[in-house]
Structure 1
C-alpha cells in the first residue's frame, strides 16, 4: 500500500537492510544468493501452476513474491557487475543476470501460468491490483506466450543472447580507458589543483585519461588545440572497434524479437509501453525539437564561430574537439563567467553534504550516516533514510549508498542502481548512486549532474513503500523517469541554495551575482545542445529501424542532419554510447522528460523553492506513487491539468 493508505495507528514494521558481505566473501555470497533466490522462484512458480489460488488477489501475491525474488537477484547482479572492484565478482554477477533473465523469460512464456492469470476475475480487485493484473497479462503477451513452441524457444535464445551482448557492450566501454600522454607545458590552461594531482612520470609526461575527471576539464581548459583534439578523439573512440559487431547483432536480434511477437520493428515494440505510445511518434518528436531548436542554435553557433575565427581565421565550422573550449571562452570573455573561478566554490565534500541538506529539506527526509556496514569499496558511503518528522524509534524508510569516484573496472557514467526494491511490510528500499567525480574541486556541470542523479535515488526511496514490487521505486514509463531528476537540477542553479554549501577555501559563499551570470551563461548554447541530443536520439532510433550495415557511415549521415558539429574523421562515438544498451531506441526520452520537467517546475515559485505545500504535493503526488499510476496521470494530479510543451518552448527560445 502507499504511504497515504498505511494506517499510522499500526506499529511500525522494522525491515532490515541487506546484510552485505565483506569483500573476500562477495563472490560466494552472490552465488549463494542467486542459487537460493532462483530455487525459491521455481518452487513458487510450480505451486502457482499446480494449485493456483482461486482469488485474483492471492494469485497476484504469489506472482509478486516471484517478482521480488527475481528482482533481488537481478539488482545485485546489475549493480556489482558494474562497480565491484574484484573482476571475479563482476563476472559472477554477470552470470547471475544471465540465469535470472533466462528464468524470467521462461516464466513469462509459460502458457500454464498465463492461463492462471487470464482466468482470474478482476472485479474484486482495487484499482492498483487491477492495474497489476493488466500489466502482468501484457508482460506475458509481449514475451510471446501466445506463440508456438518453436517461436517461444527462439525468443528465449534471443533474450539470453541480448543479455550477454548488453553485458559485453557495457564491459567494453567500462574497461576501455584510453590515455593521452603529453608534456606538462602543453597542458597550459588546466586548473592548478588538477595539475598538482597529475605529476609528470619518469619520462616527463603527464597522462590524461578518458575518464570524466580528466577528459572534461582537458577539453574545456587546455589551450593547446592538439591536446584537445587528441583527448576528444580518444574519448569518442572508447569501445571501438570491438563494439560495432556487438551492436550490429544486438539491433538485428531486437528487430527479430519484435517481429516474432507481432510488431513491425523494435522501436514500435519498445514504445508501446512508454508515454509516447508508438514507434513512428519518436522521429516526429525528434523533428519537433529539431525545428524548435533551429533558431536558438543558429544564434549561439554564430557567436561561437565568431570567437573561434579570432584564433582560426576563415574557419567555416567548429567541431567537438574545440566547441567546449570556445564555449568556455565565450562564457568567460562575453558573459563574465570563468569556470575555473566557479569551481573553487565546489569542493566535493561540501557539495555532497549540501546535496543531502537540500534534498532533506525539500522532501522532508533525514540522511543518517551508517558507519558499521560492509561496503564493496572504501569510497562507498551509506546512509539510512528517515522521514524528517518521524518520531523516535520509527524505522528507516530506506538505505542509500553513494559510490561517487572513478576507479579501474567501474561503470564510467552516472546512474542510480537498485539494490533492493522496497515493498511495504516485506523489504526495505535500497538504492545506489554511481558516479565518477573528482575528489577535489568540481565543475558546476558535475554538481548539476550529481543533483540530477540523486533525483533518481530520491524517487527510488520515496516510492519504496509500494504494495507491489512491480510498482516500487522508479517504475514509471521509461520516458518519464528522467523528468523528476531534471527538475531537481533547478535547485543546483539557485543562488540561495548554492550559497548554503558552495564556499571557497576562505569560507566565503559563492556570490549571488556570479550565480546569476552562471545561469545566463548556461543558457548560451542550449539550442545547439538540444540539437546534439536530437542527433543522439535519431541515432538511437534509426540504428534500430534501419539496422545499417555500416554504423559509422549512418552515424555520419545523422550527425550531418541533426548535429551542429561536424564529424571528426576517424571517430566512432556510437561504440561508446552506452545508452544504446539500456535505452535502446528510446534515447529521445531525455528530451521528452525535459519537456515535462519544465512544466513540473512551473508549479514552484522560483523565489520560494522550499515552499512546503508545493514540495509536499510534488513528493506525494508525483514521486511516492512510483509506477502505480500512468505518468501522465501523476503529472496531471500535481499540475491540475495535462502537461504541455509550452514551458519547454518558452525556455528554449528565451
Structure 2
C-alpha cells in the first residue's frame, strides 16, 4: 500500500503578545499541548525504532533489501525523534517544553549509542549478502557498517561500555554548553547620547528607561548595528566585550570537559586525535589536511588582509592620531566609515531598501523562480509561535514539503542562524519539513542580514529538494559535512545581483534600489575580504587546535592562535571560545565554511552573471547537486555539474580581485 505523505500536525502557538517572555514555566493551554506533543512524538518514535530493531534482530529477513528496508524504517523513527529533541530544545518559547525536548534528545542519544554498540545487530547487517543490491542500497549498507565500526562495535566489552558512557556524557555537556550561550544574554546600559550614529528606527526601538538610560543587549539585532554605527568608542568597546564574554566562566569548564570526552573517545577508537576521527568521513579526509588547508588560505589572504587593515588603521588615526593597531571593538565601525567615505556606500541608506516583509517575500520569489518551486502559505499554519510563517512547497504542482520561518529574536531562543530538520523526507512515507531559525529585526534589515537570510534559506531549499529519497540516510542535507555550506554560500550571490535585488528591494517611497548603488555595494564588500578570511582561519585554527593539542588555559591558547592567524589583536578580558557555538556542533571542523566557499565559487562560475535565472543551468544545479542528497560523494556531484573536478582557481581569483 502506498502511504500518502502529509505535513506533520503541530499544536497551535500561544496567542499572547509575541514578545512576551515565557521562561517562567507558566505554559498556558497551548504550552501544555506542546509539552504533551513533544513528549509523545519523541517517546513514540523512539519506541517504534526500538521495536523495529528488535524485529530485525529476532527475525532477520533472508533478503538483504528487505533487511535494509526494516533498518531504514527504524532510522526514520530515530530521525523523527532526534529532530523534535534538537529543534524544540533550542527554539520553543516555553522553558518547560525546551527542557522536555532536551530529555527527548538525551533519549535519542542513548538509543543511537546503544544501536551503534549492539554486536548482534551489527552481525545481522554485516552478514547480509550485497549481491543484487543497486548502487543506493549498496552505499547505504557500506555507510551503515562503517558507522558501526566508528561507534566501536568491534571493541571489547569494557571499551564499549566506556564509549557508551562518553557518548551520553558528551550530549549532556553539549546541551549545557548551548544552554549557557542561549540563556546568558548580556547588556550594557547607556546614556541616550551614546546612541549617536545609530539608525533612527533602531533608536526608536530602544526607549529610555525610568533612570534615563537605554539597554543594549548582546543579541544580534542589537550588537551588530551598534558595533557598526555607534560613534561612541567606549560604548562600542563595552558592548563588544560583553558579547565576547557570553558563557564565561561556566562554558570554559564545560568546553574542557567536552574536549576531554572527544579526546578519550578518539583514543579508544584508535585515532591519533579527534580531528582525525572526525575528518575521516568528510571530504578533507585527515586532521593534517585541515591544518594544511588553514595555512594555505592564511597565505593566500595575507596580502589582501594587510592592505585593507592598513586602510582601516589610517582612517582610525584621523580620530585617534596615536593609534598603533585596531581590534574587534573598532574594525566594523571603521570598515563602515571607509565604505561610506571612500567607496561611496552608506549602509544606513542601503538598509532603507530592505524592509523585512519585502525581503522575505522577495527571497521566496527569487528561489521559487530559480529552482522551479512554489511556496504556498499553509492553510493550517499551527506553529510554536505567532511570528512563525509556514509555507507548503510544491514542484511541478506536486507538494514536496513544508517550511517554517522563525526569523525574529525572543527570550530563550537559539541566538544564531541555522536550518533545523523537523522531518526528513522519505519517498511514500513522509514529506520533508524544515525550520529556518534566525534573529533578524522586524523592521529594516542590514544588507549583510539579507545575505545571511539567503544563505540559511539555501540549507532549507537543499533539505526539501533532496527530500524525495528511498533511504532516510541520504535525505536532505546529507552530503559530507564540509560540503553542506557550499550550496548556501553560492545562493548568497543572488543577494548581490542588481537585477535580482530590483525585484524586491524598495524604500518607503517605492523607489527600487539603484543598480549603481548595488555595484558600489559589491565593490565595498570586496573591501576586507582578506582580513575576513584571516579571521575565519583563526576560528578554524581554534576549532582544530583545541581538539588536537590539550591545554589547561583555553583563553591563553586562544590569544596565541589569534596572534598567529587573525590580523586583529585580542581584546583583554574576553573569552570568545565560551560562546563559539561551532566548537560544539562543528567540533574540529570549522574549516568547513572556507572549504565550502572554495567549492561554491567554483560552482557559481557555471552560471552566466548576466542571467542568473538561466533555467538550463539552474535546473542542472538543482537536479545534479541538490536533489541527490547524500546518494553520491560531494566531489562527484560537483564534477557532474561542472563537467570537471572542482579547483581553487575561482576562489583564488576572487580573493585576488
Alpha-carbon shift at residue 14 of structure 1 (Å): 3.4
Equivalent in 548, 552, 564 of residue 551 of structure 2: 548
Equivalent in 479, 500, 504 of residue 501 of structure 1: 504
Alpha-carbon shift at residue 488 of structure 1 (Å): 0.1
Provide the residue aligned with 1:8 in structure 2: none
Task: Work out whether 1:14 is the aligned partner of 2:4.
Answer: yes
Provide the residue aligned with 1:6 in structure 2: none
1:555–1:574: 8 Å Cα contact kept in structure 2? yes
Stretches of structure 1 lacking an aligned partner (at least 5 in a row): 1-10
Equivalent in 539, 542, 550 of residue 539 of structure 1: 542
Query: Residue deviations 1:526-551, cap 9 Å, x none?
Result: 00000000000000000011121110
**Structure-2 separation of matches of 1:524 and 1:641:** 31
**Structure-1 separation of matches of 2:315 and 2:11:** 55
Alpha-carbon shift at residue 147 of structure 1 (Å): 0.3
Provide the residue aligned with 2:62 in structure 1: 54
Equivalent in 162, 166, 179 of residue 154 of structure 1: 162
SS class of match (2:433): strand
SS class of match (2:533): helix
Residues 271-310 of structure 1: matches in 2 within 5 Å? 271-310=279-318
Stretches of structure 2 lacking an aligned partner (at least 5 in a row): 13-29
Greater shift in the superposed pair: 554-563 or 23-32: 23-32
SS class of match (1:587): coil
Equivalent in 174, 177, 182 of residue 174 of structure 1: 182
SS class of match (1:416): strand
2:355–2:443: 8 Å Cα contact kept in structure 1? yes
Task: Work out whether 1:527 is the aligned partner of 2:530.
Answer: yes
Provide the residue aligned with 1:7 in structure 2: none
Alpha-carbon shift at residue 205 of structure 1 (Å): 0.6
Residues 53-72 of structure 1: matches in 2 within 5 Å? 53-72=61-80
Query: Residue deviations 1:135-159, cap 9 Å, x none?
Result: 0000100000000111111101100
**Structure-1 separation of matches of 2:381 and 2:293:** 46
2:42–2:84: 8 Å Cα contact kept in structure 1? no
Task: Work out whether 1:635 is the aligned partner of 2:630.
Answer: no
Alpha-carbon shift at residue 292 of structure 1 (Å): 0.1
Residues 327-346 of structure 1: matches in 2 within 5 Å? 327-346=335-354
Given the two structures, how large is their TM-score scaled by the length of structure 1? 0.97
**Structure-2 separation of matches of 1:37 and 1:194:** 45
Query: Residue deviations 1:38-75, cap 9 Å, x none?
Result: 11112111111111112111111111111100000010
1:416–1:431: 8 Å Cα contact kept in structure 2? yes
SS class of match (2:287): coil
**Structure-2 separation of matches of 1:485 and 1:373:** 26
Given the two structures, how large is their TM-score scaled by the length of structure 2? 0.96
Provide the residue aligned with 1:220 in structure 2: 228
Task: Work out whether 1:620 is the aligned partner of 2:623.
Answer: yes
Equivalent in 194, 198, 209 of residue 190 of structure 1: 198
The 1:643–1:404 alpha-carbon spacing in structure 2 relative to 1, beyond 3 Å, is: same
Alpha-carbon shift at residue 252 of structure 1 (Å): 0.8
SS class of match (1:280): helix
Alpha-carbon shift at residue 13 of structure 1 (Å): 6.2
SS class of match (1:198): coil
Task: Work out whether 1:43 is the aligned partner of 2:33.
Answer: no
**Structure-1 separation of matches of 2:45 and 2:230:** 51
2:92–2:413: 8 Å Cα contact kept in structure 1? yes
Query: Residue deviations 1:433-474, cap 9 Å, x none?
Result: 000000000000000000000000000000000110000000
2:423–2:432: 8 Å Cα contact kept in structure 1? yes
Residues 90-101 of structure 1: matches in 2 within 5 Å? 90-101=98-109
Alpha-carbon shift at residue 12 of structure 1 (Å): 9.2
**Structure-1 separation of matches of 2:595 and 2:619:** 24
1:464–1:473: 8 Å Cα contact kept in structure 2? yes
1:539–1:555: 8 Å Cα contact kept in structure 2? yes
1:405–1:436: 8 Å Cα contact kept in structure 2? yes
Alpha-carbon shift at residue 487 of structure 1 (Å): 0.1
**Structure-2 separation of matches of 1:650 and 1:111:** 51
Provide the residue aligned with 2:22 in structure 1: none
Query: Residue deviations 1:275-320, cap 9 Å, x none?
Result: 0001111010000000000010011111111101111112111000
**Structure-1 separation of matches of 2:486 and 2:507:** 31
SS class of match (1:373): coil
Alpha-carbon shift at residue 236 of structure 1 (Å): 0.4
SS class of match (2:635): helix
SS class of match (1:70): helix
Equivalent in 380, 384, 387 of residue 376 of structure 1: 384
**Structure-2 separation of matches of 1:323 and 1:310:** 14
SS class of match (1:505): coil
Query: Residue deviations 1:170-189, cap 9 Å, x none?
Result: 11111110011101011100
1:248–1:547: 8 Å Cα contact kept in structure 2? no
SS class of match (1:27): helix
**Structure-2 separation of matches of 1:528 and 1:600:** 24
